[in-house]
DNA sequence: TGTTAGCACTCGTTCATCGGGAGTGCTAAC
DNA sequence: GTTAGCACTCCCGATGAACGAGTGCTAACA
């Protein structure tokens, strides 16, 4: 494959694994001792030179060892990484209590993941593209304000306070509630089309304004605008010298703090479905410029039909892909379990 | 005052102002040119030596200039800082749109403040210690789940999904709603005492469990647990070399990210009321250990009677106290304006 | 032909050295 | 009380030597 014979593959594998551990350039002598096939450092040198010509390795300066190139990492991730059935990770020990707010759960997941992996993490709130309206309730707060509560299928609750321009008596309120629920319940957002909207507004008569606001709120609760992203463990990057210089660290942490750019990562990862739902971005493969010295591993989780979110791990290129990918797989299944419980 | 004659005060003032600008130790020659009272560097040297003996200045090493000590800063903040009526800051240009969620407003305020000041910022959600229940509504989500919506006086909305153990028909629901509202509306948390609680539970009969859960939710919505803190501009600290070394930066940013410790700062600042509502913590004066190389300026804002929060600015000790304190004063008044609007 | 030992060479890192600059403290003169 | 002058201290940056890790190449070996 790709001009690599078996021995070259073995050597490349050894080099990358060693580099993942040490973080420093790895020399020929190290490998000559490391591998089972007993070869002298000189032979290794020749092979390493070849591997460099083929683009898998890089010489940072004339007389250091070699470090993997992006292509090298890519090869490692694609071919060399066997997902061994590890003992089930200690993640279960982190009892994620039944918190009533999804926001809390997400924050906690991000924090836990950062703690166990020692990398920076992010998690997006699920996007309810196919989610259905379950329940809508309007209530009068006082003479001038109306409170709308919208509950979606996955028990996601949204509140909206609507200023009232006209008087609204209890009877009208009751009718409006009936209208909203009977029409919208069980519908997903794409199903609420213009026909339905105009018919509802017609039936609502003088209160069509209110219907409009409620519908906007429903739409909002699924729109990309509302995509919340939580991050944690940003300071973990200081554990890796290659990311700790103040320029890089500042840029990276800023990206994690501002979160705006992370949204592109989320949509990218949601769109490019791999079979496993796990995506690896090495260096420049990431859509985010400031992460060109990092690797990002993302996983897609799915609460229920079409309700998806992304969880990601950001670390140095020499991150422990094996462990990270295992953790994410484990987390995927756990997340399913958590959210199936009745919770908001 | 404090063994300082007028000339010493002038010199101290000059030294601190120069240091705020340059960030480096300031020497006698610099000051001898800077001040209006024409004195030679030798004279200044003598005075500086006195100021050091009095504890206002520090010699970082034998032959650098002097830098202010914490005591020096404190004197500067307390006596030397005249709050000049600056042109109204450009803060007004940042139109804080009418967002329906308070969370959004707070985040935006933190971000804006970080951008204009170039320091790290934090803002706490208001604590509703004296806030009153305005409206409570229970609705059946389905046969097994009940949705409780609680609205407090400042239009703060809280949702709670309650699993049902027993069947609940519409009539019972109506009665429960009536009971909750008629009893609790207009009451502040301290007013909801054991007497009221037990009377309500008695009246609720077989549904007393539900009343309990609702009351818990009410309590939660004001408890310290629920104190949310938003931060922004953490990476601004990299603009100040004295904070940028990776150990300090990492600790600081971690504190800002984790937010747990910031809560002590919030309560401290809420408790120690100054007339202006503005509090300055210099170095070790701050309750947070990791901020011993920083100064923190906090302001208390008040939405309505007893509904208070804290906004704070974290920067190097040589922060521009004048500008920061002005910004915070300005912000205080603006925050009032924002939250008086009907919003959640 | 593939493998290995040996050697010269390169380059980053560390450490000590050294001069310049900035600033102080002291003394003596005004 | 103020100032000029001077010796002294210390930081900082540049310079260079010693060192170690690692390579590439060549020649010898199986």
pLDDT tens-digit map of A126-177: 876 667 788 898 988 888 888 888 887 767 777 888 888 888 888 999 999 9
pLDDT band at A94 (very low <50, low <70, confident <90, very high): very low
Decide if pLDDT at A344 tops 50.
no
**Nucleotide closest to A48 measured between CA and C1':** D23
The arithmetic mean of pLDDT across residues A36-62, rounded, is: 90
Cβ neighbours of B218 in A, within 8 Å: none
Decide if pLDDT at B120 tops 90.
yes
Side-chain half-sphere of B57: how many Cα atoms within 13 Å?
29
Output DSSP code: residue A57.
E
Task: List residues with CB under 7 Å of strand C.
Answer: A 38-40, 42-43, 46, 61-64; B 25-30, 41-42, 45, 48-49, 52, 59, 63-66
Cβ neighbours of B134 in A, within 8 Å: 141-142
- Are A149 and B159 a contacting pair at CB < 8 A? yes
Decide if pLDDT at A99 tops 50.
no
Q: What is the mean pLDDT of chain A?
A: 84
Nearest CA-CA partner of A141 in B128, B216, B174, B181: B181
- The pLDDT score that the predictor gives to residue B122 is 97
- The pLDDT score that the predictor gives to residue B310 is 93
The arithmetic mean of pLDDT across residues B125-152, rounded, is: 83
Q: What is the mean pLDDT of chain B?
A: 84
- The pLDDT score that the predictor gives to residue B103 is 78
Decide if pLDDT at A253 tops 90.
yes
Quick one: A307 exposed, middle or buried, by C-beta within 10 A (0-12, 13-18, 19+)? buried
CB-based contacts of A117: which residues, under 8 Å, 6+ apart? A233, A313, A315, A323, A324, A327
- The pLDDT score that the predictor gives to residue B61 is 87
Nearest CA-CA partner of B319 in B299, B296, B298: B296
Output DSSP code: residue A151.
E
Min Cα–Cα distance to chain A from B114, Å: 12
**Nucleotide closest to B31 measured between CA and C1':** C23
Is there a contact between B173 and B140 (Cβ–Cβ < 8 Å)?
yes
C30 C1' to A277 CA distance, Å: 87
The arithmetic mean of pLDDT across residues A82-97, rounded, is: 45
Q: Where are any strands of DSSP class E within B104-220?
A: 120-124, 127-128, 133-142, 145-152, 157-163
Residues of A in CB contact (< 8 Å) with B are 100, 134-135, 137, 139, 141-142, 144-145, 147, 149, 151, 155, 157, 159-161, 163, 232-235, 238, 244, 246, 249-251, 253-254, 257, 342-344
CB-based contacts of B151: which residues, under 8 Å, 6+ apart? A141, A147, B133, B134, B135, B136, B157, B158
Provide DSSP, B233-260.
-GGGGGGSHHHHSHHHHHHHHHHHHH-T
- Are A161 and B344 a contacting pair at CB < 8 A? yes
The SS3 call for residue B148 is strand
- C-alpha–C-alpha distance, residues B173 and B146, integer Å: 10
Give me the total of CB pairs closer than 8 Å, taking one residue from chain A and one from chain B.
91
Residues of A (30-49) placing their beta carbon closer than 7 angstroms to any atom of strand D are 30, 41-42, 45, 48-49
The arithmetic mean of pLDDT across residues A76-94, rounded, is: 60
The arithmetic mean of pLDDT across residues B231-258, rounded, is: 93
- C-alpha–C-alpha distance, residues B83 and B280, integer Å: 14
Strands B307-316, B145-152: pairing is unpaired
Q: How far is CA A193 from CA A154, A160, A189, A209, B131, in A?
A: 22, 21, 8, 17, 42
In chain A, the residue whose alpha carbon lies closest to the alpha carbon of B159 is A157
Q: Which residues pair with B251 in a beta bridge?
A: none
pLDDT tens-digit map of A199-228: 988 998 888 888 888 888 777 766 655 788
CB-based contacts of B62: which residues, under 8 Å, 6+ apart? none
Nearest CA-CA partner of B159 in B174, B141, B179, B143: B141
- Are A342 and B163 a contacting pair at CB < 8 A? yes
- C-alpha–C-alpha distance, residues B99 and A89, integer Å: 42
Nearest CA-CA partner of B148 in B164, B161, B132: B161
- Are A147 and B151 a contacting pair at CB < 8 A? yes
CB-based contacts of A287: which residues, under 8 Å, 6+ apart? A264, A265, A268, A281
C20 C1' to B63 CA distance, Å: 14
Decide if pLDDT at A88 tops 80.
no
- The pLDDT score that the predictor gives to residue A114 is 94
- Are B149 and A147 a contacting pair at CB < 8 A? yes
pLDDT band at B257 (very low <50, low <70, confident <90, very high): very high
Q: Give the CA diameter of chain A.
A: 90
pLDDT band at B9 (very low <50, low <70, confident <90, very high): very high
pLDDT tens-digit map of B34-88: 777 788 999 999 999 999 999 999 998 888 889 999 999 999 999 888 755 443 4
Delineate the domains of chain B, giving CATH numbers in brackets. 6-80 (1.10.10.10), 91-128+227-340 (3.30.450.40), 133-221 (3.30.390.60)
- The pLDDT score that the predictor gives to residue A93 is 39
> In what helix (H) or strand (E) does residue B32 lie, and over which residues does it extend?
helix B28-34
- The pLDDT score that the predictor gives to residue A296 is 97
The reply to whether B6 Cβ lies less than 7 angstroms from strand D is no
Decide if pLDDT at A19 tops 90.
yes
Decide if pLDDT at B97 tops 70.
no
- The pLDDT score that the predictor gives to residue A130 is 66
Could you tell me the two tokens for A2? 């790709």
Decide if pLDDT at B286 tops 70.
yes
- The pLDDT score that the predictor gives to residue B337 is 62
Strands A120-124, A133-142: pairing is unpaired
- Are A246 and B246 a contacting pair at CB < 8 A? yes
| Bases of strand C lying below 7 A from some protein CB | 3-6, 9-12, 21-27
Please provide residue A230's backbone torsions phi and psi, each rounded to the nearest 5 degrees.
-115, 140
Q: Which long-range contacts (CB under 8 A, 24 or more apart) does A199-204 make?
A: A203/A179, A204/A176, A204/A179
């Amino acid at each position: 494959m790709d001009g690599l014979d078996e021995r070259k593959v073995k050597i490349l594998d050894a080099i990358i694994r060693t580099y993942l551990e040490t973080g420093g350039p790895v020399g020929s002598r190290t490998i000559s001792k490391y591998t089972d096939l007993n070869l002298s450092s000189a032979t290794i040198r020749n092979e390493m030179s070849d591997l460099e010509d083929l683009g898998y390795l890089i010489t940072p300066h004339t007389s250091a060892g070699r470090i993997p190139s992006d292509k090298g990492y890519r090869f490692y991730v694609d071919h060399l990484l066997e997902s061994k059935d590890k003992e089930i990770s200690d993640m279960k020990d982190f009892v994620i209590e039944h918190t009533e707010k999804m926001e809390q759960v997400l924050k906690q997941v991000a924090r836990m993941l950062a703690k166990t992996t020692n990398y920076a993490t992010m998690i997006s709130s699920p996007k309810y593209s196919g989610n259905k309206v379950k329940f809508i309730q309007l209530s009068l707060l006082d003479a001038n304000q109306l409170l709308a509560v919208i509950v979606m299928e996955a028990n996601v609750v949204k509140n909206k306070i609507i200023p009232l321009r006209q008087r609204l008596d209890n009877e009208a309120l009751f009718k409006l509630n009936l209208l909203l629920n009977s029409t919208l319940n069980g519908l997903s957002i794409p199903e609420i089309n213009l026909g339905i909207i105009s018919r509802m507004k017609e039936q609502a008569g003088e209160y069509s304004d209110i219907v409009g606001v409620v519908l906007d709120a429903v739409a909002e609760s699924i729109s990309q605008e509302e995509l919340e992203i939580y991050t944690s463990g940003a300071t973990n990057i200081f554990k890796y010298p290659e990311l700790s210089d103040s320029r890089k660290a500042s840029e990276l942490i800023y990206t994690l703090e501002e979160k705006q750019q992370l949204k592109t990562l989320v949509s990218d990862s949601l769109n490019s479905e791999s079979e496993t739902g796990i995506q690896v971005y090495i260096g420049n493969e990431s859509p985010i410029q400031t992460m060109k010295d990092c690797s990002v591993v993302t996983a897609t989780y799915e609460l229920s039909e079409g309700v998806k979110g992304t969880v990601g791990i950001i670390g140095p290129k020499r991150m422990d892909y094996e462990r990270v990918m295992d953790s994410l797989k484990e987390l995927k299944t756990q997340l399913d379990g958590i959210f199936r419980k009745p919770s908001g």
